[in-house]
């Protein structure tokens, strides 16, 4: 064999050998959507009949055994332009955002930058002395006893508040609902403060930290939305049924607070997020397990315990998200490899019961 050909073949063999040794790039694609059977498609249409047509819509995702067996949009994302909801439409997640805030804190704990048992005042010294015993664990699990910022806002002030404003409001109060760790009370204040702690511990803006440490690595187009600073691709706008007509009610005075509810995401984004909850691409064990381990009992219906950003009940991990113009829910049964996500851009109804009915078809 001539020398040039022999050298070329050796180089080609070496290249194939080197490629075989390289680790596979993480799969950031959403689960493939197989051809949906006619009965499944008909069942989805029937369940979501109220979201079809020229009305505020919904996006439905069902993942079973790693496949997106339902991945569909219904109705409209924007009534004014008649833009339809698709799997890429981004909805304001409201309190579903809390699991991303919790994951940001746990990533910093995993990095050794902070501890979830740090006193909150280590990172937020502006908090009053009455918060001395409050830890990050208390904030994550709604056991801090801190006052809810929505109860502290001036009802005559129509300006939007931000996470830093939440700290200012809470810091003026000397006392809480109960001593830290002695009770459970769902707290939007706690998660707004956690977003600020992420900023101070990481040295990055909260929205940038989420983008660089969670969204980009997973291939998500999600964004912690800041008006005038960021854009939401394929954004859905929120509506309420008022005076016998749908009216846009997309923002309230609390809609600019990021840590407790300011993330926009699509069902395709949440398919990627769901996949990452099964492996170590973001959080490693025991951190991933810690997030979905009951940290405290609750008195909420359908919730035996609360972890860090997750409600927990009989093998179900779930969270709802309600804000003006949006009602959402994510349900996960990891043992059954089943996830249902239902995102809607309307003020009513809450979609938990509907999502449970959808899930029952695969249980």
In the numeric block, which tokens belong to residue 187? 């707290």
Tokens matching residue 186? 């769902």
Q: Do the beta carbons of residue 144 and residue 190 sit within 8 Å?
A: yes
3-state secondary structure of 220: coil
d(C-alpha 2, C-alpha 148), whole Å: 80
Q: Give me the DSSP letters along 62-87.
A: EEETTEEEEEEEESEEETTTTEEP-T
- Sign, Cα dihedral of 247, 252, 255, 261: negative
| Secondary-structure percent of the chain, ordered helix, strand, coil, rounded to 5 | 35, 20, 45
Q: Do 264 and 90 contact (CB within 8 A), yes or no?
A: yes
CA distances from 119 to 132, 197, 206, 309 (A): 7, 11, 20, 19
> Catalytic residue among 17, 29, 95, 240, which?
95
Per the annotation, the verdict on 95 as an active-site residue is: yes
Q: Which residues are catalytic?
A: 95
């Amino acid at each position: 064999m001539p020398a040039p050909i022999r050298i070329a073949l050796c180089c080609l063999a070496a290249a194939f050998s080197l490629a075989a040794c390289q680790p596979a790039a993480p799969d950031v694609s959403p689960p493939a959507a197989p051809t949906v059977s006619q009965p499944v498609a008909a069942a989805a249409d029937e369940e979501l009949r109220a979201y079809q047509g020229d009305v505020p819509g919904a996006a439905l995702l069902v993942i079973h055994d790693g496949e997106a067996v339902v991945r569909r949009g219904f109705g409209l994302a924007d009534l004014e332009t008649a833009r339809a909801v698709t799997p890429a439409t981004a909805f304001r997640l409201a309190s579903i955002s809390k699991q991303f805030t919790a994951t940001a804190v746990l990533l910093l704990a995993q990095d050794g930058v902070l501890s979830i048992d740090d006193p909150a005042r280590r990172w937020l010294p502006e908090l009053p002395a009455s918060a001395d015993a409050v830890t990050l664990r208390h904030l994550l699990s709604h056991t801090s006893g801190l006052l809810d910022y929505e109860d502290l806002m001036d009802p005559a002030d129509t300006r939007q508040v931000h996470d830093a404003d939440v700290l200012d409001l809470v810091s003026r109060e000397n006392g809480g609902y109960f001593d830290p760790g002695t009770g459970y009370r769902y707290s939007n204040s706690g998660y707004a403060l956690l977003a600020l702690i992420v900023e101070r511990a990481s040295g990055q803006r909260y929205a940038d930290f989420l983008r660089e440490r969670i969204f980009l690595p997973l291939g998500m187009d999600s964004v912690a939305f800041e008006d005038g600073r960021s854009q939401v691709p394929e954004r859905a706008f929120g509506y309420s049924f008022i005076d016998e007509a749908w009216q846009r009610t997309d923002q309230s005075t609390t809609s600019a607070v990021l840590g407790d509810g300011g993330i926009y995401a699509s069902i395709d984004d949440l398919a990627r997020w769901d996949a990452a909850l099964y492996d170590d691409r973001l959080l490693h064990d025991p951190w991933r397990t810690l997030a979905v381990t009951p940290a405290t009992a609750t008195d909420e219906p359908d919730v035996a315990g609360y972890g860090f950003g997750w409600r927990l009940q009989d093998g179900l991990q779930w969270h709802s998200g309600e804000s003006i113009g949006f009602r959402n829910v994510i349900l996960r049964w990891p043992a059954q490899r089943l996830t249902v996500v239902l995102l809607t851009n309307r003020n009513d109804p809450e979609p938990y019961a509907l999502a449970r009915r959808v899930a029952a078809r695969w249980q």
